[in-house]
Amino acid sequence: MDAALRVAHARQSVDYLNVASLVIFIFDYFQTLDLEIDYVWKSKGFTGKALFFLNRYPPFVDVPLTVYYYLNGGVSSRTCSILDSVTIWMTSFGIAMSEVILLLRTYALWGRNRIILVILTTLLVGIYITVIVILTIFIRSVKYGNPPLPIISGCYDVEGSDILFVVFVLLLLNETIVFTLTMWVGVKRYRHAHNPLVVVLYRDGILFFGLIFAISCSYILVLTVGPEEFYDILNTFQRVMHSILASHIILHVRETAATGTDDSVEMSTSLTIRVSEYT
């Protein structure tokens, strides 16, 4: 019974954080909706707008589905399997869009350097091919059964591969490389720049990397040495934070570019044009 109660308490913590993640996402959406209307909806460019929408709006589908997956009662194992597959693939797609936004931002900061574009694109494609294989293995390995206590609601998996932590290691690797390239070009080219756009890019970039690094490391620790009952505790939170932080990068870049930069500095003007085109 002690083990069953431990599972129930852990599952409750997972449920709370999933619901909290959904609330955070919705709150942030309405907090930044005015910026989105002004700088995305009314914009004329296609690439940045498409990336923004693909990053911003899928969580309105997959995050509620994840909450339903954990809170619903009386559904079949088949339904649980479908819900799990849909949320996993949508989450992976959403995080991939966030990574593409980071890639294009870094490419723009490097002055559209094609070598950087090829390196980052090859890395991202290679990582996501591997991620697809790993997620396929994981989804096929999951089996569902009855929870140890009737008070535990939602789908309850009783079997599954522990390979999932590799996905987060790969994502962490990609984001570390992107962050390193961003900081390198910042020190090399922009350390004496006073352009507000540079400040925004590095402020948001450091915030993105810092938070995602902390979440990913925590998740890897949970998946490798933590209790099995907590394996899913950070999944939805990480997905939401990827979407929020990547959206903020685009919104802040566009807001800063629209309010003007130091036009007396040629570098500042060209940087604004380059980054605005890709976000």
Does residue 278 register a pLDDT over 70?
Answer: no
The count of domains in the chain is: 1
- CA end-to-end distance (rounded Å), the chain: 54
The whole-model pTM stands at 0.88
Q: Give the model's confidence band at 276: pLDDT under 50 very low, under 70 low, under 90 confident, else very high.
A: low
- For residues 3 and 112, the model is more confident at 112
Window from 38-52, 168-182, 247-261 with minimum mean pLDDT: 247-261
Range of the domain at 191: 2-278
Does residue 23 register a pLDDT over 70?
Answer: yes
What is each CA distance from 129 to 92, 122, 224, in whole angstroms? 11, 11, 23
Mean pLDDT for all residues in the chain:
85
- pLDDT for res 270: 46
Q: What is the CATH number of the domain that holds 225?
A: 1.20.1070
Q: Give the model's confidence band at 29: pLDDT under 50 very low, under 70 low, under 90 confident, else very high.
A: very high
pLDDT tens digits along 67-118: 999 988 777 889 999 999 999 999 999 999 999 988 888 888 888 889 999 9
pLDDT tens digits along 122-151: 999 999 999 999 999 999 999 998 888 888
Whether residue 219 contacts residue 234, with contact meaning beta carbons closer than 8 Å, is answered with yes
Beta carbons within 8 Å of 265's beta carbon, 6+ residues apart: 193, 194, 195
- pLDDT for res 274: 53
- The number of residues in the chain equals 279
